[in-house]
Structure 1
Amino acid sequence: MNNSAPFRSNINERKTQRLRPTHFIAIPLNTNQTILNNLSRFQNAILQLSNSRQGTETNRIRGLDPSIVIDPRRFHFTLGVMALEDPAPTPSPTTSTHRPTLTVESALALLRSLKPALSKIISGSVDGSVDGNLNHNTPNLQQTQRSTTTVPPLRVILDRIDIMDPVAPPSTKSREGESGKRDSGVRAAEVSVAGLQKGAPNVLHHGENDIGEIWSRVLYMAPSLVGVEGEKLRLISDLVHQTFKREGYVTDTRPLKLHCTVLNASHRRPPRFRGDPFSYSDILKSGILSYLSPTSNAPPPNQITTNASSTGIPNASLNSTTSLGSHPKTPERSKSRPNAKRSSAPPLPVPIDFRDEVGVQEIGLWIMGSRGPNNEYVSCGGVKLG
């Protein structure tokens, strides 16, 4: 009697679960040129301040590097990451059949099978529950949906910017580059509280380190999930994510968090410095987030001349001097508890307002790490929302 078959099956299953992710389900956010231009200006201005030759000691943003800036043409929300395989031409008699092969074709078929449910959510006639079923009992969307003969696309409103979990500042390292000069962008020896204004935005809410600063590896934009359009986005995202999770395509057990990454230190070059964080405190005190809040009427704290050609980020059309507004101050720390531990305070995202929205026509299956002719992700196809 051969008892090795179940053992081999378990090994094969574990290997399958550890396959490197190859594709992901994406909601594109690269369709509104006005928003992309504003984001390009913001990113270029950030890089200007990160340059030790152009930024000053009071406004330089430590830890910023062109390699961690995400090209706006690659902006998206991720609804699920998966490892897809090439279909086997002929199944082997000894091959385990307890789990079907997950392929691009089967993933696209599953995504497109959600078309009726997605269309009903878009039209506001029904609600999509997270288990993929439909409930005909949602008067809120139905009552507020405009009468129209065509199903409108999904409209995404990006209304705040925030960071992922705060981290410790980068450790002091030898950063000898090809030029032989030290990279002074992210050295722990330079970390200080100089220039931090009392009550600066988010400083009391994001968990400062021992010297009163906030460092992170990811800066992202988040969508509004309230109102008619926000509720549609939430329902559609949950429907797609939970369907692919239930069918075994998505194995990540973490809850879905819709976010559009703007800066990501995991892309830092050279690779030996991958993951070294940037100073969120420097970004906040610079007032540069006003590029993402055109409705701000606060007085500009400084002036910056931005030059798109120095960064390679497209669609900026800068080459002009731009005023940077400040943000409303957050409440100061309680005077009765001057030594209270601030790291336990909840995050407080910074509001942004593009005065516009992103129209989404399709949810796509994109190739992980791919680059098209314009540096966009390569799509394998998707499902139309309209």
Structure 2
Amino acid sequence: MSAPNANNEPAADSAVQSQPTWTNPHRSHRPRGDSRGGVPRGGGHGTGRGTGILTSTLSQHINDAQSANSLRGRGRGRGGWRGRGGSERGRGRGGGGGGFRSDVARPTHFLALPLQTHSTLRTRIGNFQSALLQHSPPITGLDPSIVIDPRRLHLTLGVMALVHPGEEADAPSAEGREGLQPKKTTDDALALLRSLQPRISQLLLESGGGEGVKVLLEVLDVFPPGATTGANVLYLGPEMAGIDNLRHRSSNAISSSREDKRSWKERLWTVSNFVHQEFKKAGYIVEKRPLKLHCTILNASHRKPKRRLPFSYEDILNSSARATIEAIAQERVEPSTVAVSDDVSSQLAQVTEVLASTSISSPANRHPVDDRRGSPLSVDFGVYDVNDIQLWVMGSRGRNNEYVNLGGIKLEPVT
């Protein structure tokens, strides 16, 4: 049972299972504040007041930006199904750049490994984001509107275009290279996910038993890969180099700690890639690039007003926010699920106070240019247990600004 916050509202993780009334994403209606359709927007501007990272001052900046743009795109007939976010287009979700093919419908839902239930992770990422926003001089291209609310944190296993049961006739059709794409429903996707549970349970048993997977957030990097001043997405994730080739494990003696981390990442990859591949085989996931496990914390595609303006990864690496990363590493948190504390709201408020003058920095003589010299930064944001795979509605917002969860499965071994 989650502890209430200072406003006697449930903490963010208690709302993960909430399923507020959802408007048909294939019609022209949109969630309030989304000018282009079903696009997850960052910045912590949701209605929930519980554990958000942003103060009322910064929230007002974001709300003002959304209000100014809330009428943009109305009447264009695009509808929520055409989600336009960078991560949904594949830049953030599936790999390092590009978008979905024009011959398939835009994605509306995605499979997620939830991370937002961990209060410690929300606090750490909120602390880091706030340090970035408070840095002086401002980081080129950084703006509150591109900050991802920690109540929306996750790893994506794949995006797909779905309709709700009974709405097949209203859904837009996509003429693909092999003819008309079949319309798949959310119930179909959930049924497929549940059908995979026995095999997932067996994979968990073969990889040591126990429930769930562990997610290590040990690398800070950007999309496009290698960008420095032309970055579109900033993310945290596990270092998976070599993990996807499980047949060639090193036989060299290594420390127990390193062996544990490798085994956690192998288990995570085995389960995640299995689900991804099965949904791809069944025609739900059409993205051709390999799965890239990452947790987005900045996304330039969410910028308001809408402009094609990336941010500077180089500025981030050279900012005083690096001290926040180092402080987080000093905490040396053990890999376990962290319960939500009673005073998490006050903790977040103390560490994420943002200056009212925070604004985008893009002087005329500092146009971002992608010089492809960036490199991943080793960090230690902790290790977190994930015990579910869930189907989330792209662009949705629950009462605490979390994504709306339509259901899923537990990651449990064979009993």
TM-score class normalised by the smaller sequence:
0.5 to 0.7
Structure 1 residues 74 and 314, CA gap change in structure 2 (3 angstroms) = farther
Matches of 1:83 and 1:28, distance apart in 2: 20
Out of 207, 210, 217, the residue aligned to residue 232 of structure 2 is 217
Structure 1 residues 83 and 90, CA gap change in structure 2 (3 angstroms) = closer
Out of 344, 348, 352, the residue aligned to residue 316 of structure 1 is 348
Matches of 2:186 and 2:272, distance apart in 1: 20
Counterpart for residue 72 of structure 1: 150
Matches of 1:228 and 1:48, distance apart in 2: 38
Counterpart AA for 1:364: Q
Given the alignment of the two structures, is residue 291 of structure 1 paired with residue 321 of structure 2, yes or no?
no
- Structure 1, residues 111-145: CA drift from partner, whole Å, max 9, x if none? 1111111112223x1xxxxxxxxxxxxxxx4xxx3
Out of 254, 257, 269, the residue aligned to residue 304 of structure 2 is 269
What SS does the corresponding residue of 1:358 show, helix, strand or coil?
A: strand
Please say if residues 218 and 238 of structure 2, whose CA atoms lie closer than 8 Å, have aligned partners that are also in contact: yes
Residue ranges of structure 1 left out of the alignment (5+ in a row): 1-14, 50-54, 126-140, 167-205, 209-213, 298-312, 322-341
Given the alignment of the two structures, is residue 380 of structure 1 paired with residue 406 of structure 2, yes or no?
yes
Given the alignment of the two structures, is residue 114 of structure 1 paired with residue 196 of structure 2, yes or no?
yes
What SS does the corresponding residue of 2:191 show, helix, strand or coil?
A: helix
Give 1:101 shift. Answer: 3.4
Out of 5, 13, 20, the residue aligned to residue 106 of structure 2 is 20
Matches of 2:289 and 2:212, distance apart in 1: 28
Please say if residues 131 and 352 of structure 2, whose CA atoms lie closer than 8 Å, have aligned partners that are also in contact: no
- Which has the larger share of strand? 1
Give 1:317 shift. Answer: 3.5
Give 1:244 shift. Answer: 0.6
Matches of 1:101 and 1:279, distance apart in 2: 40
* TM-score, normalising length: structure 1: 0.60
What SS does the corresponding residue of 1:233 show, helix, strand or coil?
A: helix
Counterpart for residue 281 of structure 1: 314
What SS does the corresponding residue of 1:373 show, helix, strand or coil?
A: coil
Give 1:320 shift. Answer: 9.1
Please say if residues 215 and 281 of structure 1, whose CA atoms lie closer than 8 Å, have aligned partners that are also in contact: no
Structure 1 residues 319 and 352, CA gap change in structure 2 (3 angstroms) = closer
Structure 1 residues 221 and 344, CA gap change in structure 2 (3 angstroms) = closer
Counterpart AA for 1:290: A
Counterpart for residue 369 of structure 1: 395
Counterpart for residue 379 of structure 2: 352
Counterpart AA for 1:220: Y
Counterpart for residue 159 of structure 1: 218
Counterpart for residue 265 of structure 2: 230
Counterpart for residue 30 of structure 1: 116
Q: Aligned residues: percent identity?
A: 44
What SS does the corresponding residue of 1:61 show, helix, strand or coil?
A: coil
Matches of 2:351 and 2:318, distance apart in 1: 23
- Structure 1, residues 238-294: CA drift from partner, whole Å, max 9, x if none? 1111111110111111221111111101000012x2x31111111111141332343
Out of 115, 139, 146, the residue aligned to residue 61 of structure 1 is 139
Out of 258, 281, 303, the residue aligned to residue 246 of structure 1 is 281
The aligned length equals 255
Counterpart AA for 1:264: N
- Give the root-mean-square deviation of aligned CA atoms: 3.2
Give 1:90 shift. Answer: 10
What SS does the corresponding residue of 2:184 show, helix, strand or coil?
A: coil
Bigger Cα displacement from structure 2, 240-249 vs 221-230:
221-230
What SS does the corresponding residue of 1:294 show, helix, strand or coil?
A: helix
Residue ranges of structure 2 left out of the alignment (5+ in a row): 1-100, 174-178, 244-261, 331-344, 354-369
Structure 1 residues 318 and 113, CA gap change in structure 2 (3 angstroms) = same
Please say if residues 40 and 314 of structure 1, whose CA atoms lie closer than 8 Å, have aligned partners that are also in contact: no
Give 1:64 shift. Answer: 1.0
Out of 187, 210, 231, the residue aligned to residue 105 of structure 1 is 187
What SS does the corresponding residue of 1:216 show, helix, strand or coil?
A: coil
* TM-score, normalising length: structure 2: 0.56
Matches of 1:42 and 1:376, distance apart in 2: 20
Counterpart AA for 1:318: Q
Within 5 A, what are the aligned runs for 1:106-145?
106-123=188-205, 125=206, 141=207, 145=208
Please say if residues 361 and 384 of structure 1, whose CA atoms lie closer than 8 Å, have aligned partners that are also in contact: yes
What SS does the corresponding residue of 1:254 show, helix, strand or coil?
A: coil
What SS does the corresponding residue of 2:407 show, helix, strand or coil?
A: strand
Matches of 1:99 and 1:39, distance apart in 2: 39
What SS does the corresponding residue of 2:139 show, helix, strand or coil?
A: coil
Structure 1 residues 294 and 259, CA gap change in structure 2 (3 angstroms) = same
Please say if residues 221 and 260 of structure 1, whose CA atoms lie closer than 8 Å, have aligned partners that are also in contact: yes
Matches of 2:182 and 2:227, distance apart in 1: 45
Please say if residues 153 and 361 of structure 1, whose CA atoms lie closer than 8 Å, have aligned partners that are also in contact: yes
Structure 1 residues 317 and 84, CA gap change in structure 2 (3 angstroms) = same
Please say if residues 164 and 187 of structure 2, whose CA atoms lie closer than 8 Å, have aligned partners that are also in contact: no
Counterpart for residue 258 of structure 2: none
